Structure 1
């Protein structure tokens, strides 16, 4: 199960102030980028991050260690839809393994790989210490409830690690003619509801405030016991009021801090989160304890 993978590491959860469940490895040690130059430029423009330097995984570890935080790190495998080779999952896992006090590796497998992808998922968890999987339906060009992805979900559920799905609009491809070929409809959280039904023990994270489907995401997370929401990709000052209301009440044990680093830094996110009307007893749940429990870093309960 997921809780056994990190045994023997030096991560001290009690000393952490927060766990960021959504950060991107945008560049490998040899300079290969996760996105094509066109899509990367569109993303930078969307987030107002022109010229931001893409940190290496070693640099990300130093950044989070300095802040007494841990971070989930992943890339996105979009080769089927975009033709751009991904940063290898093994590279992400190996680099994160150098920093077990600060970094938690997730992997990304293109669901179009079918059963070969399912075999790769098992190997990545069992041999490389991967702790979860990232999907970006719009970038990967698939509906989450497409049964071609089900062999992959089956393995992820069996291994007991989370599946994180991008939901809502994406800045990647924004402003490019035709959106760079990226279809937003794939990222409607209601498509993930089918996955939650068909894989009832699978831990699922719906990434981002799911514009324009925020209410749908809240409905799925309140209805399905193992569906969570991360708050990445937006400054908290722009959160829809219903998201804040549910985070303060019905979903207080299922909402997770995520930044979307490096396009949004945790410094900026946390500064704006400090000004949000969140109950004092709920704030530490969102920042750390919900993620620590979900990721198997602390015991359930």
Structure 2
């Protein structure tokens, strides 16, 4: 790791950068979500029986495949009552594997101005490289002004904010969806954030069913809005998403798996069969993320 706390990643030796993986269990066995919500997610993804790897295990898995990974948990304690895995633990665990792992944090926006102070500390003292939001799970509309002090700090620090968009497997099949409201994850709410924080680097996570066109519109209109392709096998990508990835958004689309519920092995195998131009593949798999995450210089 370098003196700034940043990762020490050999870009030339990497096959790809996965911008979307989850820390689901702490070193002491504390899970990121309640067992009910984890079970619902596993059922939704057909991933029953999948292990919840520790971050050390995740690092070994990705290193073996010559992949780098962005790792985060979700702090949704206000809405769910479930204490999060500590961001400090995620960052310190990633620091042990700085050749492979890139730490993001998650700070519940309901924590108000304390959230903004926490974000600043996590970047300065723990080398965090970005922040994850899950509006449906955290129970907030992204353009709610209560989150703006937090966005202001993230924009100032120059690190990305990754927003879950579209439907979620968390709570799927649970009565009332486990209290999770899908409407909070419409990308058009994030468009307001992109207007009010014009230099904030934003990643819209997932093919944004049922708002795929909205996500494409936001990403083509706002220069610092990107899309990650996590949470779906590429063979199910909407045709319009593939067309935009091949053309207008070729430098703004990012590989993401959603590991451990979807493995990079499965995702990359299906992506190899997708009708993507040869010159676009390395952009999606590695080069776009390297620039966005500050691992490679622009130009």
Q: Same fold (TM over 0.5)?
A: yes
Q: Distance in 1 between matches of 2:4 and 2:237?
A: 34
Q: Distance in 2 between matches of 1:188 and 1:4?
A: 39
Which residue of the partner structure matches residue 233 of structure 1? 231
Following superposition, the deviation at residue 4 of structure 1 comes to 8.7
Structure 2 matches for 1:1-301, cutoff 5 A? 5-6=4-5, 9-301=7-299
Q: SS at 1:70's partner residue?
A: strand
> Runs of 4+ in structure 1 displaced over 6 angstroms?
none
Following superposition, the deviation at residue 14 of structure 1 comes to 1.2
Q: SS at 2:132's partner residue?
A: strand
CA offset digits 1:143-201 (Å, max 9, x no partner): 00000000000000000000000000000000000000000000000000000000000
Following superposition, the deviation at residue 6 of structure 1 comes to 4.9
Q: SS at 1:164's partner residue?
A: strand
Q: SS at 1:95's partner residue?
A: helix
Listed as ranges, the gaps of 5+ residues in structure 2 are none
Q: Is the 2:135–2:185 Cα contact (8 Å) retained in structure 1?
A: yes
TM-score when normalising by structure 2: 0.98
Q: SS at 2:71's partner residue?
A: strand
Listed as ranges, the gaps of 5+ residues in structure 1 are none
CA offset digits 1:44-93 (Å, max 9, x no partner): 00000112110000000000000001000000001000000000000000
CA offset digits 1:105-132 (Å, max 9, x no partner): 0000000001000000000000000000
Q: Is the 1:161–1:295 Cα contact (8 Å) retained in structure 2?
A: yes
Q: Is the 1:105–1:132 Cα contact (8 Å) retained in structure 2?
A: yes
Q: SS at 1:212's partner residue?
A: coil
Following superposition, the deviation at residue 290 of structure 1 comes to 0.1
Q: Is the 1:11–1:100 Cα contact (8 Å) retained in structure 2?
A: yes
Following superposition, the deviation at residue 10 of structure 1 comes to 3.1
- The number of residues matched between the two structures is 298
Q: Is the 1:5–1:131 Cα contact (8 Å) retained in structure 2?
A: no
Q: Distance in 2 between matches of 1:13 and 1:117?
A: 32
Q: Distance in 1 between matches of 2:259 and 2:117?
A: 29
